[in-house]
A and B are shown apart, each in its own frame.
Chain A
């Protein structure tokens, strides 16, 4: 049925009217619609599309002509209201953010001439080349990309060291420079504790604990997981330590790493002993028995944070940092004997594995295969961020889907007593992990209940109250779903162990003078000093959301929407290089 409405003297631009026509045509009950100004040419178009009515005859060029073909009983009134609403609200709400982006280094440097740091998150095969360009332009590089060969890492780091620049990464998940989060990082309070870490979630756990314990962070420098390997030789960690040693904001330094190669460890510790600032070290997996000189050795990430807080306040370091554990009452069936740890953070998973292995007094329970970091006596700790789970899928810190599958699977196993997991908040992470995991957890627990089992969930919640996700809200959502939420990974694991009647013994640590003390005169580079002197000015090469979190922190950043040169065509890349270098001979 054809309806004609003429709005006299109601001029609209033809683009508006085409958009309106598209909008109206999509409404329920509308077969076809045409909305145009009543010019002779437009009336012809109406005729051609079978929407001409006699009522259009008197309409003129300044009259809006609406012709709607509706299904038999559709109400015309609703459609007219929709027309009016559309015309009264024509401001375009752009779906894209107003963030400006560039597509070349040239323009990135032009738009942000003061840039001093490049964040690189391009595919691994291209990352080294882009980092090299950053160094050539005089920028420090933070390489988020993984799958960069270790030889390339070494050569980049050597080049950076020679140019007195810093290369963080590759495979560097976390950094904080003067409060500005780089990649996956939390918003932490400013303070006098600096961190250098070869572990992403390790840095996140330490920095957020320090924040929530009332301390503050000056900088957190990520080095990438291989920095302390024999091959790389801790180039970035050593330069980072020197940088923090010369940084006025930093009074205490925390080192986080998995156990390094022996020679590298000695090199690092000897450097640390030469500092005038106190240092806390956490070499995850080592169980230190004493502090040495100005180097205080921690067993857990939480202990590292607590020692750092005491040092930052100028308080004496205590021989023991044990927190009392509230052991919840449990009612388990006899066959419910296993702990299933489903982790998103690799370092947090490793710490859980270490604590459980220690409690079980395992000599060789720690493994690294098929995503497991521990598999013993029925207990298992899985690192769901391991490559084998993230091939072609987002990391579980971004997308909880893989974790939900594992929760369902673990919950079905009659041997499972407790499911232990971590939740890492902050920039880069999922907006509402609790909102997604809690229903899955409730469902799994309810199902176990119908099968005659009580299933327990314990979570380690890593984040700060300033993070983009609300810490309290996440905590509340998990607790409503029956999850026991702990404020550190250490406490979460110890709670689970206690539930299983397993206990860890902490031994008080003595403080003795340094044996490897070798005072050395060293300096840091002016460029690293400048990087740590204020908020960084960033060129973000790759993932857009990294730029968003930087600008949200008030630091300047340019988004470089990177694509491989010439679409990755080797032939065209060669031609471009030849044309670039070509000289006409006259």
Chain B
């Protein structure tokens, strides 16, 4: 081993995070890159969970996926298949993938393929469906399935063809660096990055030999979908964090995710092991007619963005969304990011934040610092209705339970023979 102390091991891990080089190289049907999606298998968000323990939105997503895949002809049949255990589940994270909210990913859904050139590893994430009634929030009506089918038949293949025309795919570090200076924090707000993506990809799309109507529908969808880049950011974060966690030493948090029941984290020194504790429920602002009482507990793999150092960790980068923190304004956003510095090992000079006097985003959450200070990462998140089928009802922030970090440290101390 090159390092003598945990600090040195952590430094090695965060050097790999800062040195990550994610490129968006393709969009392909999930089963072509994730062989585990054979037969009736679905991926879900968060640490492992059984169907019966899933909360409403995730179960709703399962129903939608079964309908989309044509395994069931209607909701009732889908539910009975799920309840009988006909459908097999794997956490996204176990197969190099991440999934927003419910995280439900099926074999024929198109996924982004992000290649981390510094380590040669890949990561995958389904595409963003927009807002309102969408699968990731547990909606599965006909309009949802229709959109998913269009994404499979038109959007995915179009992006794939466009990306193949590029020399090496799209260099995501460049796009992230640009968009952060334009006010994105990449979890609550992705509009700048989504526009940068549209700007980069559209010259290739318009040059494709394809039906003009379909081309128009693709461009229109990309133009309308403010959060389109979120899923790319998730895949990029996953690729970079997986590259970094090839070093299996130290206390750097390498993944954070939620399945609606448990919050799970991984730390570098403990490899693939999850450390879980019951999730909190996000607090935030709600659409009319909905309130905190309707909110589903925290859910989704999107906290991989915070693990990478954006999202709530980079709150100060996105003054436009700071008020989701509560009634606070700019000063509260500043205080949030400053607080996040306390649990981070360093700051990433690749992504500097203008509103933070060009300080770099947080780099490497140290589980030791989380436990020592009791400061848990701030996660910016959408809020799903707890009943399946309703969809998104608001957005806000949430924090992981500190127990995850305590358990991880205890296990690591035990592994090192200290206990």
Binding site for B on A (CB under 8 A): 13, 15, 18-19, 21-22, 25, 32-36, 41, 44-46, 48-51, 91-96, 98, 100-104, 107, 563, 565-567, 569, 571-572, 575-576, 578-580, 582-584, 586
Contact A565 B372 (CB under 8 A): yes
Q: How far is the CB of B337 from chain A (nearest CB, A)?
A: 11
- 22 interchain pairs, CB-CB under 8 A: A15-B324, A18-B394, A34-B289, A35-B288, A44-B132, A45-B132, A46-B288, A49-B290, A51-B289, A95-B327, A102-B342, A103-B339, A563-B374, A565-B372, A569-B406, A571-B410, A575-B371, A579-B412, A579-B418, A580-B368, A582-B418, A584-B4
Contact A100 B131 (CB under 8 A): no
Contact A45 B288 (CB under 8 A): yes
Contact B285 A15 (CB under 8 A): yes
Q: Considering the chains assembled together, what is the distance between the CA atoms of A102 and B375 in angstroms? A: 11
Among B131, B287, B375: residue with most chain A CB under 10 A: B287
What 7 pairs across the A-B complex have the smallest Cβ distances? A92-B329, A49-B289, A34-B288, A41-B132, A18-B285, A578-B418, A575-B413
Contact A582 B5 (CB under 8 A): yes
Contact B373 A575 (CB under 8 A): no
Query: Is B379 engaged at the interface, CB distance under 8 Å to the other chain?
Result: no
The size class of the interface chain B forms with chain A is 35 or more
Query: Is B341 engaged at the interface, CB distance under 8 Å to the other chain?
Result: yes
Among B285, B290, B335, B410, contact of A575 (Cβ-Cβ < 8 Å): B410
Q: Considering the chains assembled together, what is the distance between the CA atoms of A95 and B342 in angstroms? A: 23
Contact A576 B286 (CB under 8 A): no
Contact A19 B320 (CB under 8 A): no
Query: Is B331 engaged at the interface, CB distance under 8 Å to the other chain?
Result: yes
Among A19, A25, A46, A567: residue with most chain B CB under 10 A: A567
Query: Is B402 engaged at the interface, CB distance under 8 Å to the other chain?
Result: yes
Q: Considering the chains assembled together, what is the distance between the CA atoms of A569 and B328 in angstroms? A: 32
Query: Is B323 engaged at the interface, CB distance under 8 Å to the other chain?
Result: yes
B364-399 CB contacts (< 8 Å) to partner A = 368-369, 371-375, 394
Query: Is B159 engaged at the interface, CB distance under 8 Å to the other chain?
Result: no
Contact B5 A96 (CB under 8 A): no
Query: Is B108 engaged at the interface, CB distance under 8 Å to the other chain?
Result: no
Which residue on chain A has the smallest CB distance to residue B130?
A: A41
Contact B323 A579 (CB under 8 A): no
Contact B331 A579 (CB under 8 A): no
Say whether, besides A18-B285, A583-B4, A584-B9, A575 and B419 are in contact (CB < 8 Å): yes
In the complex, which residues of chain B have a beta carbon less than 8 angstroms from the beta carbon of A36?
288
In the complex, which residues of chain A have a beta carbon less than 8 angstroms from the beta carbon of B131?
41
Contact A104 B342 (CB under 8 A): yes
Among B5, B251, B288, B402, contact of A49 (Cβ-Cβ < 8 Å): B288
| Complex interface bits, B252-286 against A, C-beta within 8 A gives 1, otherwise 0 | 00000000000000000000000000000000011
Contact A579 B328 (CB under 8 A): no
Contact B335 A100 (CB under 8 A): yes
In the complex, which residues of chain A have a beta carbon less than 8 angstroms from the beta carbon of B3?
584
In the complex, which residues of chain A have a beta carbon less than 8 angstroms from the beta carbon of B372?
104, 565-566, 576
Which residue on chain A has the smallest CB distance to residue B284?
A: A18
In the complex, which residues of chain A have a beta carbon less than 8 angstroms from the beta carbon of B332?
94, 96
In the complex, which residues of chain A have a beta carbon less than 8 angstroms from the beta carbon of B5?
582-584
Query: Is B210 engaged at the interface, CB distance under 8 Å to the other chain?
Result: no
Query: Is B6 engaged at the interface, CB distance under 8 Å to the other chain?
Result: yes
In the complex, which residues of chain B have a beta carbon less than 8 angstroms from the beta carbon of A567?
374, 402
Which residue on chain B has the smallest CB distance to residue A13?
A: B320
B332-347 CB contacts (< 8 Å) to partner A = 332, 334-335, 338-339, 341-342
In the complex, which residues of chain B have a beta carbon less than 8 angstroms from the beta carbon of A13?
320
In the complex, which residues of chain A have a beta carbon less than 8 angstroms from the beta carbon of B133?
44
Contact B406 A572 (CB under 8 A): yes
Say whether, besides A13-B320, A96-B328, A579-B409, A18 and B286 are in contact (CB < 8 Å): yes
Known: A15-B285, A96-B328, A579-B409. 4 other contacts (CB 8 A): A44-B133, A100-B335, A104-B369, A576-B409
Q: How far is the CB of B257 from chain A (nearest CB, A)?
A: 23
Q: How far is the CB of A407 from chain B (nearest CB, A)?
A: 39
Q: Considering the chains assembled together, what is the distance between the CA atoms of A297 and B250 in angstroms? A: 64
Contact B418 A575 (CB under 8 A): yes
Query: Is B249 engaged at the interface, CB distance under 8 Å to the other chain?
Result: yes
Say whether, besides A45-B287, A50-B289, A579 and B6 are in contact (CB < 8 Å): yes
Say whether, besides A15-B324, A582-B416, A572 and B9 are in contact (CB < 8 Å): no
Q: Considering the chains assembled together, what is the distance between the CA atoms of A102 and B341 in angstroms? A: 9
Among B4, B341, B373, B402: residue with most chain A CB under 10 A: B373
In the complex, which residues of chain B have a beta carbon less than 8 angstroms from the beta carbon of A50?
289
Q: Considering the chains assembled together, what is the distance between the CA atoms of A110 and B384 in angstroms? A: 40
Among A22, A100, A101, A563, contact of B373 (Cβ-Cβ < 8 Å): A563
In the complex, which residues of chain A have a beta carbon less than 8 angstroms from the beta carbon of B331?
94, 96, 98
Q: Considering the chains assembled together, what is the distance between the CA atoms of A582 and B373 in angstroms? A: 20
Say whether, besides A32-B288, A579-B368, A104 and B418 are in contact (CB < 8 Å): no
Say whether, besides A34-B289, A583-B4, A107 and B341 are in contact (CB < 8 Å): yes
Among A51, A107, A572, A583, contact of B371 (Cβ-Cβ < 8 Å): A572
In the complex, which residues of chain B have a beta carbon less than 8 angstroms from the beta carbon of A92?
323, 327-330
